[in-house]
Amino acid sequence: MRHLRFVLASLAALLFAAGALAFGQANGGWQKSYPVSGKASLTISTGDASVEVRSCAGCSDVRIQVDWRDRKPDDFIVTEFQTGNHVSFEMKEKSHFGVHIMTGHFREPQVTVDTPAALDLEARTSDGGLKISGVQGTLELHTSDGGVDVSDVGGSLRLTASDGSIRIHNVTGTLESRSSDGHATIDGRFTALQVHTSDGNLDLTLADGTQLNTSSRIETSDGRVTVKLPREMAVDLDVHTSDGNIKCDLPLTMEGYDSTHSSGHNLRGHLNAGGVPLAIHTSDGSVTIAAL
């Protein structure tokens, strides 16, 4: 009898484990849900995979799903845990010894996260795109070798990116962005800006209602800069290009203009009686300041 109970208990454990595995690998992927009782926070790190984080209406949990696509689950190591309202998720590719050859076009895994709108997020990706939408909080994003798409977010956004295009759309709050080797398109209603691109054009639109409350700076090392501002915006402009032209379509009370060959072109003035400083600098490219 004791042996029979042991066998039944072992069988039940096996069935439970099989059910858990079936849940975790449903539809050919991996998935898990983490309930939260307050503001959620998420740390996510991936290699050789794309990541999308999006808000889910009325949900009270963080749901993570992995679609392996053309890769095998055994190619990756997944590490995850939850502490209170904080969720940590890491997925990295296993090391391959010797020569690893893949022929044809292979789609890397896709990690999709559905989360409550109120979220503090730290996301890191390497060799994969990053997409964030619909969340509000402190957002710190790091990417290498992949495009970035951020839309409809609010709070404090810090982005460090290399080797990929950047699209930041309808952002409210503060933005600190540093990128290299890619075109950047940014628009939103900001209270503070620090934007730097080292090799790519920059198109920046400050939406109606933008009111900068601290000194802000827009800078490129190698690329043109186009900035669109509300007509009623009040700032002190400091514009410089080492090798390019400056064009300003807004009424500007000039404070100074210098176009000597050795210093490039420099323009200083006040928009609508002036306000906080707004510097726009490029080392190799033209600057255009236009009205919305």
Q: For 255, which DSSP code?
A: E
pLDDT per residue over 172-196, tens digit each? Answer: 999 999 998 889 999 999 999 999 9
Give residue 285's domain range: 165-292
pLDDT per residue over 252-289, tens digit each? Answer: 887 756 665 556 789 999 999 899 999 999 988 899 99
Residue 39 lies in a domain: no
Banded model confidence at residue 161, pLDDT cuts 50, 70, 90: very high
Residue 201 lies in a domain: yes
Residue 36 lies in a domain: no
Question: CA–CA separation, 143 vs 121, rounded Å?
Answer: 14
pLDDT of 40 above 50: yes
pLDDT per residue over 239-255, tens digit each? Answer: 999 888 999 999 888 77
Sequential DSSP letters for 177-227 = EEEESS-EEEEEEEEEEEEEESSS-EEEEE-TT----S-EEEEESSS-EEE
Residue 219 lies in a domain: yes
Residue 10 lies in a domain: no
- pLDDT for 66: 98
Residue 277 lies in a domain: yes
Highest mean pLDDT among 87-91, 124-128, 220-224: 87-91
pLDDT of 106 above 60: yes
pTM metric for this prediction:
0.85
Q: Count of domains in the chain?
A: 1
**CB neighbourhood size of 12 (10 A):** 10
B/e letters for 243-270, b = 16+ CB within 10 Å, e = fewer, are ebebebebebeeeeeeeeeeebbbbbbb
- Residue of 105, 129, 44 whose CA lies nearest to 80: 44
Residue 215 lies in a domain: yes
